[in-house]
Amino acid sequence: MSAPSGDIQVVVFGLGEEEFALPVTAVREILDHRPAYRMPGAPAWFLGLTDVRGDSVPMVDLRVRLGMIAADTTLATRILVVDIPQGQDGTPAMALGLVVDRVLDVSTFGPDAIEASPDIGGRWRSDQIAAILRRGTGFVALLDPARLFAGTDGVNALNGLGLAA
């Protein structure tokens, strides 16, 4: 996903004091937090499986995936069920439940509020961020769902557990 050039509609959510977003087109639904069935040998960011309307959906602690410290769940904790692309070869997208501290809103950002993600070696991996969105006097990091779980430590790690399609 490259930085969008037109308007983009996103789900804005919080992790700690930081604000992030995912494209609305990647988010299937938003759920209240629920327990997960833990699996042995899984990466630290993988919380386990949960049932979503009869389907087993892998749950991911997005804080840990992004290198933050895990936090206790609260009444505001939500699960974003998202479709994560698995490749250009027609492999179907994988549904993942991303656990976030809170969902803030659904917002539309115009081209004047969208900036390319700087590659300055900061706190977040720039290859996982599609763009920076200006919001008032602050910023929102627009995550790239495909790159967020790319590589051997991403969806491929779930393949080793027999979870990826």
Query: What Rg do the C-alpha atoms of the chain give, in angstroms?
Result: 15
User: Dihedral of CA 99/102/13/90: which sign?
Assistant: positive
Of 93, 54, 73, the closest CA to residue 15 belongs to 73
For residue 1, pLDDT over 80 is answered with no
Q: Closest Cα partner for 8 from 18, 19, 21?
A: 21
**Which pLDDT score is estimated for 42?**
83
- CA distances for 42 relative to 80, 82, 163, angstroms: 20, 20, 11
Considering only residues 6 and 33, tell me which one the structure prediction assigns the higher pLDDT: 33
CA–CA distance from 119 to each of 5, 6, 41, 97 (Å)? 19, 22, 33, 28
Stronger pLDDT, 90 or 26, i.e. the higher one? 26
Q: What is the mean pLDDT of residues 59-88?
A: 91
The candidate with the shortest Cα–Cα distance to 9, out of 116, 105, 148, 136, is 105
pLDDT of residue 162 exceeding 90, the answer is no
Q: How many residues does the chain have?
A: 165
Domains and CATH numbers, the chain: 8-159 (2.40.50.180)
